[in-house]
Structure 1
């Protein structure tokens, strides 16, 4: 069994901070579960152009408000607590935060831990692993 605490993980090397967001990676590839699980904060005013070409992602909004736009068709979907959006087709999208948003995210295949977005808004398949911090 793996047991981790969000507040403890936020103080260690599982917390990744980048422009417009930060993510605490609670479950990673080296945990051998077949997916990764993160709690991600999108900062107020963030406007993120994302395209997860190598991963499928599900995102559940726990707090805050914003919107996600699918680039292919220009559709805009409001995001608020209780909303989930699922990028099941490697959808190119724009995530906008009206207020700070707290999101629970699942990635398949799982992330290694140190990933940040590349120039195309994607995570690479290979990245530096976070040391086991159970």
Structure 2
């Protein structure tokens, strides 16, 4: 059994970018077939992402914002209790009106140190 507490995560499991902080609870080496993250998106920010190498599901537990599907222009309101799944490697724009707290699941699982590249994707790490 794996037991992990958010307030006890080692520094190497806390990864951040300009608009976000990802606390990585489960990673590839745990062997679960997915990775699990508790992510904060800073209030007033816009983050363009395109997970070309991963599928992601996102569950909002705090805050308000929107996610826009770049290809279609569809805008989805994000609030606590909203889940969205990027099942088509959708290029998207996440806008945080207030700080968002999201629970994110990635498949394939992240190894740990990944940050967004110039295209908004996480690289695959061997």
Q: Same fold (TM over 0.5)?
A: yes
Structure 1 runs, 4 residues or longer, greater than 3 Å off: none
Structure 2 Cα separation of the partners of residues 91 and 111 of structure 1 = 18
Q: 2:4 maps to what in 1?
A: 4
Q: Deviations over 1:69-114 (max 9, x none)?
A: 0001101000000000000000000000000000000000000000
SS at match of 2:7: helix
Q: 1:64 maps to what in 2?
A: 63
Q: 2:22 maps to what in 1?
A: 23
Q: Which runs of 5+ in 2 are unaligned?
A: none
Superposition RMSD on alpha carbons, in Å? Answer: 0.9
Deviation at 1:118, TM superposition (A): 0.1
- The alignment's TM-score, normalised by the length of structure 2, stands at 0.98
Q: Which runs of 5+ in 1 are unaligned?
A: 128-134
Answer yes or no: is 1:79 the counterpart of 2:78. yes
Q: 1:51 maps to what in 2?
A: 50
Q: How many residues align?
A: 126
Structure 1 Cα separation of the partners of residues 87 and 108 of structure 2 = 12
Structure 2 Cα separation of the partners of residues 86 and 33 of structure 1 = 19
Structure 2 Cα separation of the partners of residues 92 and 14 of structure 1 = 25
Deviation at 1:12, TM superposition (A): 2.3
Structure 2 Cα separation of the partners of residues 81 and 47 of structure 1 = 18
